[in-house]
Chain A
């Protein structure tokens, strides 16, 4: 009894140290979040310098958003994201594998790591500005293409749907592949070298090693990359905004959801913007849930589905 009383309780210090985070989260994240949701049920905007509202309108904002081109912009966002993400993850995986592979002995990996990460340090808007100038009809890229005779007339990159979308995708790829590479490298280095050694002894070639050892082993980090990329993709804004001058031109085909949100904020339309944010919130929630399920399924001591799968596999092998 006495001893129990004597025991010093350190747990309160734990709470004490995480307190700053929770306070700032509460003030700067939670309250605005709740406010956003609250305003999404109101008609609240500015006309000139006159404020209209807030008047409660129920689900009217949500309904009118569904009636608008929102789904089209969601599709745009998705397309732009996929164009950028596929090369990003492929190149990142290959580079990470190469950099880590002890047998390849690539010189100056440190240097390359810095170089491929560099585009990420440039402000996205500056990057977009640069591309806008480079790929304009009188820009240097057209100049080069014309002088080496690949084309006789300047190509109107930013005037075509394909051109604009690929440029946005390409920029996102350039900006983020270094980041993914470094993350995946960390993951690959975390794999126990025993496994690689064992595989080599068993006569595994490098493709087999990549697909049957590296990939399954780095699945958690891969999932993390995928989730952050999806959320980042949903929030894609700065690059297309600057590249198309906020218009999503041509014909609003590169207008992303956040650009749509931003055009509502130009009129201080907090109600409509709030409703759009709530939609986005729900979508990212669902996406995260799916990705988590997808990636955790193979964990044998995790979910039921994984256990089932493992059992099935065992059965099959038994039969075979």
Chain B
């Protein structure tokens, strides 16, 4: 334990060392409201808002100017003496967004060293901050980053996600979250006689094939997926129209969502899903990933395999394998934004470039943290490079499957209301799927809940 602390300290220390170099002079740049000009004087303190240590670890790992990080992880010093202050608030229950919103409201009046310089957001609510009128995240162009040229190697959909309605990119990410189908090799062998990813991939290549496979699994007493929530991202992230069109206050529920409800009901009633697992991120769901579970597969992006599946798995390595999902999808992703009004534009630009653009850095992140990173050419190389293979997956190189999925992802159009919609529609229809209430009641419950969450919503339109 002690050793771990010490080594963490050392890493932190190294990280801070690496971070100090760019011309940081004294004081804050006068106006602060337009930190875009690269020639302005740099402030002494860079404030970064995030919900966990992930971004700090990435910065420490790849930003060369980092000198050291304090033992409690709140301050990272750069080579030139500039300090990065990490303001971490947990994501649960929207705490992070509350704190961030509060700080953003005060951004204009804050002292230069108290201004937010960088903040992070997730795909579910990135749109709230990249909104043009909100003007919280700076266009990358104003920082001196040309998305066309500098970010050419990034996956297109990540750039679209981080852009406002006019297509101005206001954030960048190091991470790209294409999802795969992760399956139990032992169950595959028993039911299909093979655990070869190619052959399993054929069996799950689309929803029709998937259904036949589900029937086979059911005959042997296995569930295909654990819960109806597992498949939600595949439908929910491929909606044709955003939940709320820009400038409107009407929620349009996409046909795809209703398809999810319909097929989930069908699958649940047919016994392809485990009735006892209600939604994700609960104990039952975690247990479904254990060796005693009868669940054949999960749908996960890279982070899910590493942070969710692995800790919940109680067997040895090599039991799980990955293959293509029935439909390409993306799940999650953290975006890095330069905050409007930053007094450290030069540093911010450097950090964004180092962590989200530099290909060598991204490959290093991929290797060390098994993240699927945002570089098209790099990921293609990783797919062919066996040094990226995973012990946990029995020596399989997951990048071989991730890369093609990432290239085919069609990201759903976003709106600032996504997080609430995604969360509440699943909650409302959860009761319906479990047979507690009828279909229309679920609709009404969603309408009630969403109007509570977003008081400005005036109407909910359902398809058909």
CB distance from B304 to the nearest CB of A (A): 20
What 0/1 readout, one digit per residue, does chain B (432-448) give for beta carbons within 8 Å of chain A?
A: 00101100010001001
* Bound Cα distance from A194 to B441, whole angstroms: 63
CB distance from A219 to the nearest CB of B (A): 42
Asked if residues B282 and A263 are in contact (CB atoms below 8 Å), the reply is no
Contact (A138, B455) CB under 8 Å given A159-B436, A249-B431: no
B388-444 residues at the A interface, CB under 8 angstroms: 416, 427, 430-431, 434, 436-437, 441
Residues from chain B with Cβ under 8 Å of A58 in the complex? none
A215-235 residues at the B interface, CB under 8 angstroms: none
Residues from chain B with Cβ under 8 Å of A250 in the complex? 431, 434, 436-437
CB distance from A147 to the nearest CB of B (A): 15
Residues from chain B with Cβ under 8 Å of A260 in the complex? 452
CB distance from B419 to the nearest CB of A (A): 11
* Bound Cα distance from A50 to B129, whole angstroms: 10
Asked if residues B105 and A49 are in contact (CB atoms below 8 Å), the reply is yes
Interchain CB contact (< 8 A) of B283 among A46, A133, A156:
A133
Inter-chain pairs besides A47-B416, A266-B452, 16 sampled, C-beta below 8 Å:
A49-B128, A49-B131, A50-B134, A69-B448, A136-B283, A137-B278, A138-B283, A138-B284, A246-B93, A249-B427, A250-B436, A252-B448, A264-B452, A267-B454, A267-B455, A269-B452
Whether, in the assembled complex, A286 has its beta carbon less than 8 Å from a beta carbon of chain B, the answer is no
Asked if residues B455 and A269 are in contact (CB atoms below 8 Å), the reply is yes
B279-326 residues at the A interface, CB under 8 angstroms: 282-284, 287
* Bound Cα distance from A137 to B285, whole angstroms: 11
A positions within 8 Å CB-CB of B: 45-52, 68-69, 132-133, 136-139, 154, 156, 159, 161, 246-247, 249-252, 260, 263-264, 266-267, 269, 272
Interchain CB contact (< 8 A) of A266 among B129, B287, B434, B453:
B453
Asked if residues B101 and A46 are in contact (CB atoms below 8 Å), the reply is yes
* Bound Cα distance from A148 to B455, whole angstroms: 50
Which residue of B is nearest A269, CB measured?
Answer: B455
B positions within 8 Å CB-CB of A: 93-94, 101, 104-105, 128-129, 131, 133-134, 136, 276-278, 282-284, 287, 416, 427, 430-431, 434, 436-437, 441, 445, 448-449, 452-456
Interchain CB contact (< 8 A) of B284 among A137, A247, A263:
A137
Residues from chain B with Cβ under 8 Å of A272 in the complex? 455
Contact (A49, B101) CB under 8 Å given A159-B278, A267-B453: yes
Asked if residues B276 and A154 are in contact (CB atoms below 8 Å), the reply is yes
Choose among B104, B128, B456 the residue with the greatest number of A CB atoms under 10 Å from its CB: B456
Residues from chain A with Cβ under 8 Å of B452 in the complex? 260, 263-264, 266-267, 269
Residues from chain B with Cβ under 8 Å of A154 in the complex? 276
In the A-B complex, the 7 residue pairs with the closest CB atoms: A137-B276, A250-B436, A48-B416, A48-B128, A263-B452, A45-B455, A47-B456
Q: List 9 A-B contacts (CB under 8 A).
A: A47-B455, A49-B129, A69-B448, A138-B287, A159-B434, A159-B436, A247-B427, A251-B436, A251-B437
Which residue of A is nearest B286, CB measured?
Answer: A138
Asked if residues B448 and A49 are in contact (CB atoms below 8 Å), the reply is no
Residues from chain A with Cβ under 8 Å of B128 in the complex? 48-49
* Bound Cα distance from A47 to B134, whole angstroms: 10
Choose among A47, A48, A50, A264 the residue with the greatest number of B CB atoms under 10 Å from its CB: A48
Asked if residues B284 and A49 are in contact (CB atoms below 8 Å), the reply is no
* Bound Cα distance from A228 to B447, whole angstroms: 35
Asked if residues A49 and B134 are in contact (CB atoms below 8 Å), the reply is yes
CB distance from B290 to the nearest CB of A (A): 10
Residues from chain B with Cβ under 8 Å of A47 in the complex? 416, 454-456
Which residue of A is nearest B101, CB measured?
Answer: A49
CB distance from A197 to the nearest CB of B (A): 57
Asked if residues A49 and B104 are in contact (CB atoms below 8 Å), the reply is yes
CB distance from A242 to the nearest CB of B (A): 11
CB distance from B75 to the nearest CB of A (A): 27
Q: Is the interface of A mostly helix, strand, loop or mixed?
A: loop
Residues from chain B with Cβ under 8 Å of A251 in the complex? 431, 436-437, 441, 445
Contact (A249, B430) CB under 8 Å given A68-B448, A267-B452: yes
Asked if residues B283 and A139 are in contact (CB atoms below 8 Å), the reply is yes
Which residue of B is nearest A43, CB measured?
Answer: B455
CB distance from B430 to the nearest CB of A (A): 7
Residues from chain B with Cβ under 8 Å of A246 in the complex? 93
CB distance from A295 to the nearest CB of B (A): 38
CB distance from A73 to the nearest CB of B (A): 11
Asked if residues B448 and A156 are in contact (CB atoms below 8 Å), the reply is no
Asked if residues B416 and A138 are in contact (CB atoms below 8 Å), the reply is no
* Bound Cα distance from A269 to B452, whole angstroms: 9
CB distance from B295 to the nearest CB of A (A): 12
Contact (A48, B134) CB under 8 Å given A250-B436, A251-B436, A263-B449: yes
Residues from chain A with Cβ under 8 Å of B131 in the complex? 48-49
Interchain CB contact (< 8 A) of B456 among A45, A136, A159:
A45
CB distance from B414 to the nearest CB of A (A): 12
CB distance from A8 to the nearest CB of B (A): 52
* Bound Cα distance from A266 to B417, whole angstroms: 13
Which residue of B is nearest A260, CB measured?
Answer: B452
Asked if residues B134 and A138 are in contact (CB atoms below 8 Å), the reply is no
* Bound Cα distance from A238 to B25, whole angstroms: 49
Residues from chain B with Cβ under 8 Å of A139 in the complex? 283
* Bound Cα distance from A263 to B450, whole angstroms: 10
Residues from chain B with Cβ under 8 Å of A50 in the complex? 133-134
Asked if residues A138 and B276 are in contact (CB atoms below 8 Å), the reply is yes
* Bound Cα distance from A264 to B451, whole angstroms: 9
* Bound Cα distance from A250 to B438, whole angstroms: 12
* Bound Cα distance from A139 to B287, whole angstroms: 10
Which residue of B is nearest A142, CB measured?
Answer: B276
Residues from chain A with Cβ under 8 Å of B284 in the complex? 136-138
Choose among B94, B441, B452 the residue with the greatest number of A CB atoms under 10 Å from its CB: B452
Choose among B276, B437, B455 the residue with the greatest number of A CB atoms under 10 Å from its CB: B455
Residues from chain A with Cβ under 8 Å of B287 in the complex? 138
CB distance from A166 to the nearest CB of B (A): 16
Residues from chain B with Cβ under 8 Å of A269 in the complex? 452, 455
* Bound Cα distance from A47 to B436, whole angstroms: 32
CB distance from A97 to the nearest CB of B (A): 40
* Bound Cα distance from A46 to B416, whole angstroms: 12
Residues from chain A with Cβ under 8 Å of B94 in the complex? 266
* Bound Cα distance from A159 to B436, whole angstroms: 8
Asked if residues A156 and B105 are in contact (CB atoms below 8 Å), the reply is no
* Bound Cα distance from A57 to B105, whole angstroms: 24
Residues from chain B with Cβ under 8 Å of A249 in the complex? 427, 430-431
CB distance from B273 to the nearest CB of A (A): 13
Residues from chain B with Cβ under 8 Å of A46 in the complex? 101
* Bound Cα distance from A47 to B453, whole angstroms: 10
Which residue of A is nearest B292, CB measured?
Answer: A138
Asked if residues A263 and B136 are in contact (CB atoms below 8 Å), the reply is no
Residues from chain A with Cβ under 8 Å of B416 in the complex? 47-48
CB distance from B107 to the nearest CB of A (A): 10
Residues from chain B with Cβ under 8 Å of A156 in the complex? 276, 434
Asked if residues B448 and A51 are in contact (CB atoms below 8 Å), the reply is no
Contact (A263, B283) CB under 8 Å given A49-B129, A49-B134, A159-B278: no
